[in-house]
Amino acid sequence: MGLRGGFEFGWSKEAFYMKTFAAVLRSASVLLLLSGLTFAQDATAILKSVGETYSALKSYEFQGATTAVTTTGKIASNSDETFTVVFSAPDQFVVEFRYPGQGSWTRASNGKTTTEIRTATKEFAQQPTTQFDIRILDNSPIGFFYSMDTGNKNATVEGSETVSVDGQDVDCWVISTEREMGMLPEGVKRLPTKLWVDKARFLVLRQVSGTESVATGAKATKNVRTMRITHAQLGQAVAPDVFTPRSPKKK
C-alpha cells in the first residue's frame, strides 16, 4: 500500500489505524500527566512567593470584607464584617473589624503603647506594648498569608480570573490547596482553600475557606468564609497618630 511500517508489513488497514490511535492516546496521557505535575509545581512556587512577599513588606494598608455562611441541614445564616489592617515595620500596627449595626473593635500599637477600643460597649484601654502584641497581626485577615509558603498539600493552579481592587481589574491565579492550620474538633474536616493571587504582586486578593462536619443529614454543618480585599497600598509612609487611636469619648 506504500505506507512503511503499515500495510506493506501485513497489517490490515483497521489494525494499523487502531495501533496509531492507541499511540496517540498514550502520548496525550503522558502530556496530561506532565501538565498536571507542572501546575502542581507552579502552585507550590507561587504560594512560596506569596509567603516571601508578605514577610518582606515594610508597610501596608489593606481594607476588605469578610462573609461567613453557616449551613446546618437546610438552614443557612450569614454574618458580615469589614476590616482594615495597617502595618509599619518593625512593630506598629492597626487591626480594626467593623460589624454592621454592632460597632467596631480596634487594636493598635505605636511600638510603645497598645490600645484596644470596642465602640459597642464604649471600652477603651491602653497598656505598655509587649513583645507578644505584634502577634495580633497573626489573627488578622492578612496574618495567614505570612506563612503561605508552608502547610500546603495538593496545591494546584485551577486557572486565571480577574478581581476588582481599588476600582481596577487585577489578573490573578486561582489556586486550590489543602491548608494544615491547627487542630479541629473531632468530627470536623477542613475544606480545600481557594486563593486568588495577584500575578504581579503575589498578594492574596480573595480567599474562600471553610470546614464541614462529618455528620450527615439535618445535623451536618458547613462553614464557608469568603475574604475579599478591596484596597491595597504598599510601601507608603504612615502617619504616627494612626497607630495611637483616641478614645471615642474624646473629641
Query: Does residue 85 lie in a domain region?
Result: yes
CATH of the domain at 200: 2.50.20.10
* 137 domain residue, yes or no: yes
Q: Would you say residue 39 lies in a domain?
A: no
How many domains is the chain built from?
1
CA gap 251, 39 in Å, rounded: 55
Domain that holds residue 90: 47-243
pLDDT band at 41 (very low <50, low <70, confident <90, very high): low
CA atoms of 168 and 165, how far apart (whole Å): 5
d(CA 83, CA 85): 7
**52 inside domain:** yes
Judged against a pLDDT cut of 70, whether residue 32 lies above it is answered with no
Give the tens place of pLDDT for each residue, 129-173: 999 999 999 999 999 999 988 888 889 999 999 999 999 999 999
* 19 or 241, higher pLDDT: 241
Q: How far apart are alpha carbons 219 and 2 in whole angstroms?
A: 70
Tell whether the model's pLDDT for residue 21 goes beyond 50. Answer: no
Would you state the cell numbers that stand for residue 184, as one nine-digit string? Answer: 479541629
Q: If residue 185 lies in a helix (H) or strand (E), which one and from where to where?
A: none
For residue 18, tell me if it sits in a domain. no
pLDDT tier at 219, thresholds 50, 70, 90? confident
In a domain, 88, yes or no: yes
Would 42 be classed as within a structural domain?
no
In a domain, 70, yes or no: yes
Q: What is the pLDDT of residue 15?
A: 54
H or E stretch at 53:
helix 13-56
37 has pLDDT over 70: no
More confident residue, 38 or 75: 75
141 contacts 160 by C-beta, under 8 angstroms: no
CA angle 87, 89, 91 (to 5 degrees): 80
